[in-house]
Amino acid sequence: MKKFIWLMILTLPYFGVSQNSLSIELLGVKSSMGNINVAVYNGSKGFLKFEDVFKVERIAATEVATHFKISNLPSGEYAVAIFHDENANDKLDTNWLGMPKESIAFSNAKIKAFGPPSYKECAFDLNRDLDIKMEFN
C-alpha cells in the first residue's frame, strides 16, 4: 500500500498539468530559403527578448505557407513572434533604423508604424489544442 501511495504522489504533477499543442499556419512566406524562427512567450516581462523566451522552434521555410505544431504547452496565456530568417544567420536582420529587413509576424497583432505590438496585443489563452493562422506583415 505504501508503494501505491508513493507512486500516486510522484505521478500527480504529471496528471495535474494539462499539455496542449498549438498548430500554426503561417501565410505570406516569400521563399523556401532559410528558416522560420518561432518564439513563444508566456508573460509580458521580456517580451521580444531572446533571454525570456518560453519556447523556441525553428522550421524549414516553405514558400507561400508554412505549417507547424508546437507541443507540450501547459495551459496559460501566450504570445507568439515569428521571423523568416532567409539567410539562416539565426538573427533578425534590421536596417540602420532598427526596422526589420526580414519578414515578421505576431499572434493577434501586426507591427505598428513605430515598433512592434505589445505582449497584451499579441496574447491569447491556450487551454486546449488550438489552431491559429498568422501572416507576415
Note whether residue 1 is domain-resident: no
- The CATH number of the domain holding residue 93 is 2.60.40.10
Q: Which three cell numbers stand for residue 130?
A: 488550438
Domains: count for the chain: 1
Does residue 72 form part of some domain? yes
Domain that holds residue 35: 19-135
pLDDT digits (tens, 9 = 90+) for 20-60: 999 999 999 999 999 999 999 999 999 999 889 999 999 99
Pairwise pLDDT comparison (113 vs 88), residue with the higher score: 88
The answer to whether position 3 is within a domain reads: no
* The three cell numbers locating residue 107: 499572434
- Which DSSP symbol is given to 95? -
Q: Report if residue 4 sits inside a domain.
A: no
Grid cell 501565410 is found at 27
CA 34 to mean position of chain CA atoms: 18
What value does the mean pLDDT take over residues 76-92?
95
